[in-house]
């Protein structure tokens, strides 16, 4: 009886091996090696008309206000079909996406000089003069990618986290020693974050008490970095003027403090990490001495 079982098990094993080999051969015959064009169409890295993505992208700079735009909402706008990489083989790769111009127009931006894209570990600046009606956004994993027929692949910024609009009259601006500077111009060479209104929340469990720290995060640029960016390295005093207030700070206070330039409801503000949003300082001009 034991010998019969061994023969039975051996027969089953051989049957499974033969079946697996046959399945692999059939699959290979029915699904030959795909080229780049077929991969893009099949997996949606370039063409993905029905992607549902819940990620958000920060739209900031010279815009009416800061917005965290839901990726899926971008692709509710009308999409166009274009051909990219045609120079390589004369045929190219089809892509479908939302024209960048249409996206900006939907968010109150019709005039600008350039766009700065900040991705996970990459930054790319796209001048308006280099854009066409076929410069589009396509879905890319949890975010978007920007591409166009006249753009080389190495500048197809992917997994974009923030878009900074630079130039135009859609956003707010201040004067720095008499020179007008827009919020987009402040962020065109790097953007930071400030943690503010940190608090501790407690929770009592059955066996012990727990404590958790949380805070809000504001995008923008630190005041000292803005001053350095504009060439103000040696100074003794900074005066910040708002619509109804004026405050003076020493060099030490600026360099050691948490003064941060950000926006609230489209207006440029000076924030500090210890103050809540409603207590941020209005700013119309900064004087450096």
Give backbone dihedrals phi and psi of 284, rounded to 5 degrees, phi first.
-115, -30
Q: Which of 56, 76, 78, 50 is nearest to 68 (CA)?
A: 56
Domains and CATH numbers, the chain: 37-166 (3.90.420.10), 173-192+221-288 (no CATH)
Farthest-apart Cα atoms in the chain, separation: 100
Lowest model confidence (mean pLDDT) among 16-25, 66-75, 184-193, 199-208? 16-25
Spatial contact of 196 and 216, defined as CB atoms under 8 Å apart: yes
User: What local confidence, expressed as pLDDT, does residue 27 receive?
Assistant: 43
User: What local confidence, expressed as pLDDT, does residue 50 receive?
Assistant: 54
Lowest model confidence (mean pLDDT) among 9-13, 94-98, 153-157, 234-238? 9-13
User: What local confidence, expressed as pLDDT, does residue 2 receive?
Assistant: 47
Q: What whole-number distance in Å separates Cα of residue 172 and Cα of residue 168?
A: 10
Tell me the average pLDDT across 143-160.
92
Cα 47 off chain centre by = 20
Residue-by-residue DSSP string for 230-289: TT--S-SEEEEE-SS-EEEEEHHHHHHS--EEEEETTEEEEE-TTS-GGGPEE-SEEEE-
Strand partners, 68: 58
CB neighbours of residue 281 within 10 Å = 15
Q: What whole-number distance in Å separates Cα of residue 253 and Cα of residue 226?
A: 15
Cα 236 off chain centre by = 36
Residues in the chain: 289
Give rounded-to-5 percent helix, strand, coil for the chain: 25, 40, 35
Residue-by-residue DSSP string for 192-229: EEEEEEEEEEEEE-SS-EEEEEEEEEEEEEEHHHHHHH
Confidence of residue 250 (pLDDT cuts 50, 70, 90): very high
User: What local confidence, expressed as pLDDT, does residue 53 receive?
Assistant: 54
User: What local confidence, expressed as pLDDT, does residue 278 receive?
Assistant: 93
Confidence of residue 91 (pLDDT cuts 50, 70, 90): confident
Lowest model confidence (mean pLDDT) among 42-56, 67-81, 188-202, 210-224? 42-56
Share of the chain above pLDDT 70, in %: 81
Q: Which of 216, 219, 224 is nearest to 276 (CA)?
A: 216
User: What local confidence, expressed as pLDDT, does residue 5 receive?
Assistant: 46
Residue of 213 and 45 predicted with greater confidence: 213
Q: What whole-number distance in Å separates Cα of residue 63 and Cα of residue 77?
A: 19
pLDDT in tens, 253-288: 999 999 999 999 999 999 999 999 999 999 999 999
Q: Which of 136, 163, 145 is nearest to 67 (CA)?
A: 163
Tell me the average pLDDT across 136-153.
91
Q: Which two tokens stand for residue 52?
A: 């549902």
Q: What whole-number distance in Å separates Cα of residue 4 and Cα of residue 287?
A: 96
User: What local confidence, expressed as pLDDT, does residue 141 receive?
Assistant: 80
Predicted confidence (pLDDT) at residue 32 exceeds the cutoff of 70: no
Q: What whole-number distance in Å separates Cα of residue 166 and Cα of residue 124?
A: 13
User: What local confidence, expressed as pLDDT, does residue 47 receive?
Assistant: 52
Predicted confidence (pLDDT) at residue 208 exceeds the cutoff of 70: yes
Spatial contact of 221 and 261, defined as CB atoms under 8 Å apart: yes
The mean pLDDT value of the chain amounts to 85
Q: What whole-number distance in Å separates Cα of residue 8 and Cα of residue 13?
A: 9
Confidence of residue 38 (pLDDT cuts 50, 70, 90): very low
> Measured on CA atoms in the order 160, 132, 102, 168, is the torsion positive or negative?
positive
User: What local confidence, expressed as pLDDT, does residue 259 receive?
Assistant: 97
User: What local confidence, expressed as pLDDT, does residue 44 receive?
Assistant: 41
């Amino acid at each position: 009886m034991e010998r019969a079982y061994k023969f039975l098990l051996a027969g089953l094993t051989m049957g499974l091996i033969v079946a697996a080999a046959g399945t692999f051969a059939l699959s290979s015959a029915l699904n030959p090696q795909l080229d780049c064009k077929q991969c893009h169409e099949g997996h949606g890295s370039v063409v993905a008309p029905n992607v549902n993505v819940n990620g958000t992208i920060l739209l900031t700079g010279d815009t009416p206000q800061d917005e965290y735009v839901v990726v899926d909402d971008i692709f509710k706008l009308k999409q166009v079909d274009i051909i990219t990489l045609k120079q390589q083989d004369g045929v190219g790769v089809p892509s479908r996406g939302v024209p960048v111009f249409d996206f900006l127009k939907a968010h109150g931006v019709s005039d600008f000089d350039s766009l700065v894209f900040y991705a996970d570990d990459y930054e790319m600046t796209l001048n308006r003069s280099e854009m066409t009606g076929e410069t589009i956004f396509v879905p890319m994993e949890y975010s978007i990618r920007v591409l166009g027929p006249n753009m080389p692949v190495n500048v197809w910024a992917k997994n974009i986290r923030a878009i900074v609009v630079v130039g135009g009259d859609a956003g707010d601006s201040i004067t720095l020693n008499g020179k007008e500077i827009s919020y987009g111009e402040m962020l065109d060479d790097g953007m930071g974050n400030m943690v503010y209104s940190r608090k501790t929340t407690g929770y009592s469990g059955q066996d012990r008490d727990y404590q958790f720290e949380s805070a809000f995060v504001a995008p923008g640029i630190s005041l000292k970095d803005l001053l350095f960016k504009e060439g103000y390295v040696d100074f003794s005093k900074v005066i910040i003027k708002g619509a109804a207030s004026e405050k003076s700070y020493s060099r030490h206070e600026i360099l050691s403090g948490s003064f941060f330039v950000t926006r609230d409801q489209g207006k440029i503000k000076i924030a500090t990490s210890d103050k809540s949003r409603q207590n941020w300082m209005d700013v119309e001009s900064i004087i450096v001495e």
